[in-house]
A and B are shown apart, each in its own frame.
Chain A
Amino acid sequence: MLSDLSDLSLSISSWDPAYGSAVDFREFHESDQQSIDDSVEVNSRNWEPIHGNMIDAPPAVLFVDGIQRIEARLEIYPPEFEVPQSALWAATGAGAVRWNRKERKSEFLNLTHRRVVVLPKGIEISHIERLKRADVDFEICHAGGTEFSDLQNEVHVQMAELESKIVRATADFATNIVIADGRIRSKHPPGALGYVKSHERRYLSGRPAETVPNLEIEQRTPIFLIGGQYPRYSWYIRVGYVPGGNRWQGIARLEVSAELELEHTMGLADISAVVIPIAAPPLYMDPRAPQNLVPIAALERELRRGLGDPELLNRKLKAVLHEA
């Protein structure tokens, strides 16, 4: 017995929400016309691995990361619509791990979770009124467009914002090296390091590019500048070795806002070359080893745990939407 037509105006799509997780996000697509300056620290013809040091290292390292999970895809189809519109029910989380090297102790800080419903541009909030019966707190936001990828992109923006907020709340640059997982963004305070695990993009060529695979642990490349809308200084370090792998494996790239003084950046680069490999996991521990740092992996695990059981949430949503 269907009690009321409006009951059908909001439903859960049978589509598996895990589908969208691997999508690349447009906001972070870098323009191809980036200018690279590989002679800001050392002339590109003279590139050699540089030994790092921890002489000026602050006592603690702060790792910041965020996660996102799409819990469900909602279909909004009131009678006045011609075709159903999709919305996303998603969860994001962000937090930090402070690793105090002197005290040899790590702790989680500011673990924060948010649930959001991302509506396509132009869809009114009243259409999802029924969701409030689910007894789960959530926020509502609108995507920049109506395409499904716009919705996904908005989830990522929400997460990035949460993460930036955590960095701003926890980062004390006098006593911490601050390392955020992934690329550095304009919303990060200058001084935060971005830690990039994968090398999908080629920044260097010639002698600088040949220098990277020759790095040993505790060494770094000279600093180079990535130009563009948000200019960044960047350098490579070695976090570990992969037996049987090629020499590029076990390499990570770091970046920091170019607002920072070059000399200060050199100091950070030196420290990062020595400190970060300590936090690299052994190969058996993580399929993404050695680049996936232990504190970041632990933080992601903890954040994911805090999101709760996705099945349970899905059941709750179905209960309020599909059961009269």
Chain B
Amino acid sequence: MSEILEELERVGRIVGDARTNTREFRIILDDTSYLAVDDLVVVISDIPGLTEPLATYGVVTESESTYEGVTYETDVRRIADSGVLPAELIRTATVAITRMIPEIWTAPLAGQIVRRATGVQRDLALYVDDMGRKMPVGLAPDGSPIFLDLDFFDGTKGGHMSISGVSGVATKTTYAFFFIRMLTGARHIRENSDKYDAVGDSLHNTRVLVFNVKGQDLLWLDTENADFTDVDEAGWTALGITPTPFQLVTSGASLSDLMPGIPTVSFWSPPQEGTPEDIVLPQADRTGVSPFYWTPREFIDSGLLSYVFTDASDSRNQLQFLLERIQSQLQRWAVDLADGTGAVVLRHPNEHEFFEGKRVAVAPRSGEITINSLESLKNGIRYFIDPDEIEAHPDWVGSIERGTILAFIRRLEAASRVNRLGKLVRVGSKMSVDRDLATVTVVDIHSLHELAQRFVVGALLKETFEEKEETGSRTPLSVVVLDEMNKYAPIQGESPIKDMLIDIAQRGRSLGVLLIGAQQSASRVAPDVLENASIRVTGRLDSAESERSQYGWMLPSTRARAKLLKPGTMVLGQPAVPLPVVLKFPRTPWATRGEERLISSTEELFSGLDSSLSEDI
């Protein structure tokens, strides 16, 4: 081993004035060398009694400099101004130990030569040799890849990822997509050692569900990034991926033109009110976005009523009890209308007719309320639980007090307004989000009311999770990227979405449903969700936030540094490596904001201008 190390750059020696221990040591640097924070080093010590040399690996956590021979602070003037005081300028570095080979936990010896760990030694320092399946997830300062043990993301040994950081500068969502691109980008199998391995054969079936909550930022994944540079390209090449935007796939379009090996994306947005259902966005320049909504039939069958009542204050017992009762009655009573648009009527189960085991679709009778929207569903339910002039139907309300019933109706009424959930439930040909269409499914909910956002997230999470529960197979993987995790799984309060997220966090690992949760403050996310995330990533943290126990996996020096991280720099914590690693990731080849889009022709450049002119005229 010593012979191999001879080739590595010598940077200094372990200092002799302080004790080394098994956690850290300090280095006095040679006059011609430097070490920066995050650099990796290796030291060989001949420990008395050990038959083989002990290799100690570490990461630089601090870099220091001082004059030796200085007694008073003003001495620096006599050293640097007049030069009358002889002193030696020294530079030192503090190193946190990451690994010992062999695993004999003994302090490295004072005075030993410290070398920069590069190549194979660098991989040893970061436990890359121990990783079951390594996947590049970022770049070290020297431009070489930093690896993640995929076994700890895809559920083999651990699952889920949690990304924290200040909004705007922490680049949480961008990193999540970078990670997804890495995850879905390589198609090498486990045994092929000279290529990076990703999710093996199940890769092309991996499905990612993402919610776009801010502007239209995620709706440009298929568009080239105008700011993408050669430096970024080199970064991607080092990571083993050809940088390309995702390929757009639209509902019903031919798949034959798609390039192999490049992940695909589909965009979904709720229909605009008062427009034909296929026009989903006010912007004319974003085409290829498919509308989505639920028909009353789907709404009832999937039990989505729970996700209308997602406010933490809705979890009071009586209301919840009534809700569950109504939900089961809806499923028993609802009969399809014969027009096939997904509209239903509520009719007593005794009157249902069956043909070959299926309910026979009917025509509405006079007096029956046709349920073709959330508004009419509310009216339908009200007919049974709070009718005018007659008694409420006992099957629907049981012995529930009228106050609770009125509260229920009030909430349902508020939710069914058009600017809330109204436009998400309507009749028409089946227009639900098709998560099998593309690798990445982006569901745009940014224009929706918060209540509606929660409804969509809850409904799609439920759909995803139940689908995997039914198949019982871990592969293909189903990844869900959820920003603002603190909103969906807050540390306090109860809601059906929170319950489901905790369920996914706990059981999703074995079912192949993996969460990539992002939040500004991990301290505001339910611990059950957070603690189940094997992979932790942070961008820049708020000063107060960085001191919280949720970031205990970081070193004190890393925490201090997390307050200063620049966009594109993240701290990665993974079970396979016992220390946090700071990494950079290259700019994405796709636009992460509308402003980053590469405008290819002058025509497009002025298209926005034309429309504004015409408005003026």
Contact = CB atoms under 8 A, between A and B. Distances in A.
Interface stretch (B79-87, B252-260, B468-476): B79-87
Contacts of B74: 282
Interface in B128-151: none
A301 B75 CA distance: 15
Given A285-B72, A301-B69, A302-B69, A104 B86 contact: no
B71 interface: yes
A199 interface: no
Nearest to B80: A104
A105 B69 contact: no
Given A285-B72, A301-B69, A302-B69, A294 B78 contact: yes
B71 A97 contact: no
Nearest to A101: B83
A106 B83 contact: yes
Given A285-B71, A285-B72, A298 B82 contact: no
Task: Tell which of B78, B80, B87 has the most Cβ of chain A within 10 Å.
Answer: B78
Given A285-B72, A302-B69, A107 B82 contact: no
A103 B75 CA distance: 17
Contacts of A294: 78, 84-85
A104 B80 CA distance: 7
Nearest to A108: B86
B71 A104 contact: no
A170 to B, nearest CB: 14
B69 A99 contact: no
A302 B87 CA distance: 10
A294 B69 CA distance: 11
Contacts of B71: 285
B81 A295 contact: no
B31 to A, nearest CB: 14
Contact of A104 (B69, B72, B81): B81
Contact of A107 (B75, B81, B86): B86
A299 interface: yes
A106 B81 contact: no
Nearest to A275: B84
Size category of the A interface is 20 to 34
A312 B71 CA distance: 25
B83 A97 contact: no
B69 A295 contact: no
Contacts of A298: 69, 85-87
Given A285-B71, A285-B72, A302-B69, A104 B85 contact: no
Main secondary structure of the interface of A (DSSP, over half): mixed
Given A285-B71, A285-B72, A298-B69, A105 B85 contact: no
Nearest to B81: A104
Contacts of A112: none
A104 B87 contact: no
B86 A97 contact: yes
Contacts of B86: 97, 99, 106-108, 295, 298-299, 302
Interface in B64-119: 69, 71-72, 74-75, 78-87
A295 B82 CA distance: 11
B84 to A, nearest CB: 5
Contacts of A140: none
B84 A279 contact: yes
Nearest to A107: B86
A18 B400 CA distance: 98
Contacts of A106: 79, 83-87
Nearest to A282: B74
A100 interface: yes
Interface string A9-50: 000000000000000000000000000000000000000000
Contacts of A278: 82, 84
Interface string A296-308: 0011011000000
Interface string B265-295: 0000000000000000000000000000000
A282 B73 CA distance: 13
Contacts of A104: 80-83
A104 B87 CA distance: 12
Interface string A197-216: 00000000000000000000
Nearest to A301: B69
Task: Tell which of B75, B79, B83, B86 has the most Cβ of chain A within 10 Å.
Answer: B86
A295 B85 contact: yes
Contacts of B80: 104
B83 A100 contact: yes
A110 B373 CA distance: 96
A246 B74 CA distance: 27
Nearest to B74: A282
Task: Tell which of A103, A284, A295 has the most Cβ of chain B within 10 Å.
Answer: A295
Interface string A87-122: 000000000010111011111100000000000000
B83 A103 contact: yes
A302 B85 CA distance: 12
Nearest to B78: A294
A108 B87 CA distance: 9
Interface in A107-143: 107-108
Interface in B187-246: none
A299 B69 CA distance: 10
Interface string B51-73: 00000000000000000010110
A284 B80 CA distance: 20
A163 to B, nearest CB: 17
Interface of B: 69, 71-72, 74-75, 78-87
27 contacts: A99-B83, A99-B84, A101-B83, A103-B83, A104-B83, A105-B83, A106-B79, A106-B84, A106-B85, A106-B86, A107-B86, A108-B86, A279-B82, A279-B84, A282-B74, A284-B72, A285-B72, A285-B75, A294-B78, A295-B84, A295-B86, A298-B69, A298-B85, A298-B86, A298-B87, A301-B69, A302-B69
- Shortest 8 CB-CB distances between A and B: which pairs? A104-B83, A106-B86, A105-B83, A279-B84, A294-B85, A97-B86, A294-B84, A298-B86
Given A101-B82, A298-B86, 11 more contacts: A104-B83, A106-B79, A106-B84, A106-B86, A106-B87, A107-B86, A279-B84, A294-B85, A298-B69, A298-B85, A302-B86
Interface of A: 97, 99-101, 103-108, 278-279, 282, 284-285, 294-295, 298-299, 301-302
